[in-house]
Amino acid sequence: MEFESLKGFRDFLPEEMVARREVFQRIEGVVQSFGFREIDLPSLEKMKLFEVKSGEELVDQTYSFEDKGERKVTLIPEQTPSRARVLAKEKSLNEPVKWYSTSKRWRYEQTQKGRLREFYQTDVDIFGADSVEADAEIITVLVEIMREMGVEKAVEVLINDRNLVEEVLDKEDVEDKRKVMEVIDDREKMSPEEFLEELMDIGLDKDRAERIDDIVGIKGPLNEKLDDLEELVSGDVEGALERMEELAEILENYGVLENVKLDMSIVRGLDYYTGLVFEVFDKKGELRAICGGGRYDELVELFGGEEVPAVGFAIGDAVIEELMRREDVWPKEKLMTDVYVLPVSKSVVEEATEIVRELRGEGLVVETDLKDRNVSAQLNYANYIGAEKVIIVGERDLDEGKVTVKEMESGEEELVKIEDVTQKEFKSTR
C-alpha cells in the first residue's frame, strides 16, 4: 500500500527546510529589531473561540471536531482570537504589548496556488496603543520584511481607513453603510458596470453610486491621493483624513512612504477591522494577497476583557514563497555543514571523536562517520551534506600530531597540528 499526504498538506525534506528556516529567521529578525517579543499559544482551541470572533462562516472552513471529552475543538486557522483570549485574562501586562509568533495554521479550504490547508504563518500585533505611531510602526515592519525578502520592488502596500470610507458614505447620506461596504469589498471581482448596478440594487441612485465609485476608485501615492480625496469630498471628512495625513508624515520619517499607496476600495473583513486596513499585492497581479492586516480595536472586549486597541498583520509562507521563487530570491535549498571529521580506519576513531567533541563545543556544525564507510564514501557524504571542510584523521598524520584539512570547494589540502584545528580560530567562513 502506498500512502500520500493529504491534499493541501506538504512534506519538507531537510534541504527544503534549510531555505524555509532562513526565510522565517529573516522575517523574525526584522520583527525582533522593532522590539516585538515571541509567544507560543496552543494549536487547538475551543470552537466557540472562533464562533465568537468570526461566526459560522469561518468555522465551516476549519478543521473542527469533537474530542474524546466531547468538547468541540478547532485546529487554529489564525492566532488572533487566541491572543485576545490571553489578553482578556492577563491583567498585569505593560502596554503596549508587542507580540509575534510563527507557527502552523489550518484551514479547510479549496486548495489553489498560494492557498493550502496547512501552512505556516507569522502574526505581528501591537495591543494597547491606539496611536497613529502604532499604525505607522506596523506598516513599517511590513515594508522592511518585504525589503529583507528581496521583493520590495515587486510588491505594493495598499492602505485605507474604514473610518474614512464610513465618513465618505455619511457625507453621501448612505443609510445602510454596511451593505455598501460589502459591495465595495467585492469591487475588484466586478466590472465597473456591475459595481454601479450592485450599488443601485441596494438603494443608491445613479448619481450617488457614481460619486462613490469615483471615491473608492482612488488609488496611488499616499500624499498625492489624499490631496485628491480632500478635493473630491470638499474637506468634509476631516477626522479620518487628518489621521491618514499624519500617518503619511510618520511613514516618510521612517523612509517607507514611497512603498505605500492609498487604495480607497480596500475595506477587508467587515466584522473584524475598525480603522486602518492594508494588503500587500504583487505588482504583476499574478498572486493572491501576500499579506493583510489592520486595526481591530474591539476584539479583546469580545472575550470578556476591557477594551484594548490593537493593530497587526499576518503573513503566510505559501504566497511569499511563490513570489520569492518568481523573483529568483528564494534561498538555496542546500544542506550546510561546517566540518566533517573523517576517520580513515577504526583505529583512529577515538582521536576523531575527540576532535568532533572539541569543534562542536566551539559552536560548529560537525558530522562524522556512523556507518564504518571507506574514505571515498565518506567524502561523497561530506559533499552531500555541504561540508565546508573535511578533517581527515589518519594514523601516519597522528604520529606527527597532525591531521589533514581539506577545503571542499577548492579541493586544497593542508597538514595542520591537532591543537590548531581545535582552537576557536577554526571557524566557518560562511
Give tens-digit pLDDT for 318-371.
Answer: 999 999 999 999 999 999 999 999 999 999 999 999 999 999 999 999 999 999
CA distances from 138 to 168, 236, 264, 273, 310 (A): 25, 28, 19, 15, 11
Per-position DSSP letters for 91-160, written without gaps between them: --PPSSEEEEEEEEEE-----BTTB-SEEEEEEEEEES--SHHHHHHHHHHHHHHHHHHT-GGGEEEEEE
Distance separating alpha carbons of residues 285 and 319, to the nearest angstrom: 12
β-pairing verdict for 97-106 and 118-127: antiparallel
Cα→Cα distances 269→37, 210, 292, 293, 327, Å: 26, 24, 10, 10, 30
Q: Whole-angstrom Cα distance, residue 159 to residue 229?
A: 14
Percent of the chain's residues with pLDDT above 90: 67
* Dihedral sign (CA 64, 66, 67, 73): positive
Label residue 149 by pLDDT band (50, 70, 90): very high
- Residue 56 reports pLDDT greater than 80: no
Residue in the structure block whose three cell numbers are 526584522: 30
Which tens digit of pLDDT belongs to each residue from 3-30? 899 999 999 999 999 999 999 999 999 9
pLDDT tens readout for residues 94-134: 999 999 999 999 999 888 888 899 999 999 999 999 999 99
What pLDDT, on a 0 to 100 scale, did the predictor assign at position 136?
A: 98
Q: With 90 as the cut, is the pLDDT of residue 55 above it?
A: no
56 versus 206: which is more confidently predicted? 206
Residue 163 CB neighbours (<10 A): 18
Cα distance between residue 212 and residue 204, in whole Å: 10
CATH of domain 337-421: 3.40.50.800
User: What cell was used for 137?
Assistant: 510602526
Cell of 297: 480595536
* Cis peptide bond prior to 309, omega within 30° of 0: no
In this structure, what are the phi and psi dihedrals at residue 345, rounded to the nearest 5 degrees?
-160, 165
Q: In which element (H, E) is residue 213 found?
A: helix 206-216
And the C-alpha cell for 35?
Answer: 522590539
How far, in Å, CA of 271 to CA of 251, rounded? 27
Instruction: Tell me 412's DSSP state.
Output: -
Query: What value, to the nearest 5°, has the Cα angle with vertex 185 and ends 80 and 76?
Result: 20
Decide: helix, strand or coil at residue 386: coil
Specify the DSSP class assigned to residue 257. G
Q: What single DSSP character describes residue 347?
A: G
- Average pLDDT of the chain? 91
- Residues 18 and 126 sit within 8 Å (Cβ to Cβ): no
- In this prediction, residue 106 carries a pLDDT of 96
Enumerate residues 6+ apart whose C-beta is below 8 A from 415: 397, 400, 402, 403, 404, 405
Mean pLDDT of 154-161: 95
Dist CA 379 CA 288 (whole Å): 45
**In 10 A of CB 279, how many CB atoms?**
20
pTM of the complete model: 0.90
Q: How many CB atoms lie within 10 A of CB 27?
A: 22
Q: How many residues does the chain have?
A: 430
CATH superfamily for domain 14-36+89-326: Bira Bifunctional Protein; Domain 2 (3.30.930.10)
Q: How far apart are CA 267 and CA 245, in angstroms?
A: 18
- Delimit the domains of the chain by residue range: 14-36+89-326, 337-421
Q: 242 near 236, Cβ under 8 Å?
A: no
Q: Which residues pair with 405 in a beta bridge?
A: 391, 414
In this structure, are residues 385 and 408 in contact, taking their beta carbons and an 8 Å threshold?
Answer: no
Parallel, antiparallel, or unpaired for β 337-343 and 387-393? parallel
Q: Which of 55-69, 167-181, 232-246, 346-360 has the lowest mean pLDDT?
A: 232-246
| pLDDT for the residue 425 | 59
